[in-house]
């Protein structure tokens, strides 16, 4: 991969990443409800989820998902229902004390599951990555450079959204934080269900 191709890939990745999808909505919801300190596990889950998704696309498993409409729909619906379940669970909490953040392993698990369960991301990688591959160069170093670049940028993007959401946290009431976070997750689930 030439430096020019890498720069073009990095710029295209930034443009794709700044548009919030279900994963970023989860980061925002967790940051609103529990603050930036609790969001670190979520950001790590996003990074690992993106690494798995881009790796699947690079080894060709994304093509199988793109070719099977029923498999695509099953993964899509599973991810959307998971987001809805998390949102309703957060919305229904009634305690008035400062909510304790979920265990970091649970936040990590949720972020990883939402990121990996987004079949659009794997399909996107299948279509997106070849545009920047140089046929005259070895495949593995190019694939590694693209994966590292995208995952690093995705983590920075998630951190940026987490910082912005955590700054809003101090301006909302405790009950409002849970309601807002739950509404964001339900919205992400509904968005995942209706988008084509």
Torsion, Cα 177 182 183 188, to 10 degrees, reads: 130
d(CA 173, CA 167): 13
What is residue 152's predicted lDDT score, i.e. its pLDDT? 94
Higher pLDDT, 36 or 48: 48
Can you tell me whether residue 19 is helix, strand or coil? coil
Interval 57-70 mean pLDDT = 65
What is residue 182's predicted lDDT score, i.e. its pLDDT? 66
pLDDT tens-digit series, residues 76-93: 676 667 667 666 776 666
What is residue 156's predicted lDDT score, i.e. its pLDDT? 94
113: CB partners within 8 A, 6+ apart: 45, 49, 79, 82
pLDDT tens-digit series, residues 142-164: 888 888 999 999 999 999 988 88
CB 30 within 8 A of CB 38: yes
d(CA 196, CA 80): 13
127: CB partners within 8 A, 6+ apart: none
Q: Residue 132 carries which DSSP code?
A: G
What is residue 174's predicted lDDT score, i.e. its pLDDT? 47
Residue whose token pair is 């309703």: 88
d(CA 132, CA 125): 11
Tokens of 27: 């980061």
Interval 91-103 mean pLDDT = 59
pTM above 0.75, yes or no: no
d(CA 56, CA 102): 29
In 59-138, alpha helices (H)? 61-67, 69-91, 104-116, 119-128
């Amino acid at each position: 991969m030439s430096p020019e191709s890498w720069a073009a890939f990095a710029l295209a990745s930034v443009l794709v990443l700044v548009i919030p999808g279900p994963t970023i909505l989860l980061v925002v919801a967790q940051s609103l409800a529990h603050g930036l300190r609790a969001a670190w596990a979520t950001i790590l889950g996003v990074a690992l989820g993106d690494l798995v998704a881009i790796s699947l696309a690079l080894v060709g498993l994304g093509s199988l998902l793109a070719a099977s409409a029923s498999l695509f729909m099953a993964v899509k619906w599973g991810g959307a229902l998971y987001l809805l379940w998390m949102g309703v669970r957060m919305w229904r909490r009634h305690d008035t004390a400062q909510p304790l953040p979920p265990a970091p392993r649970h936040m990590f698990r949720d972020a990883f599951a939402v990121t990996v369960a987004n079949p659009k991301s794997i399909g996107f990688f299948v279509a997106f990555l070849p545009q920047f591959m140089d046929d005259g160069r070895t495949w593995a170093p190019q694939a590694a450079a693209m994966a590292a670049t995208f995952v690093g940028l995705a983590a920075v993007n998630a951190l940026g959204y987490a910082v912005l959401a955590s700054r809003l946290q101090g301006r909302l009431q405790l009950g409002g934080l849970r309601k807002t976070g739950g509404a964001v997750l339900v919205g992400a689930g509904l968005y995942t269900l209706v988008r084509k």
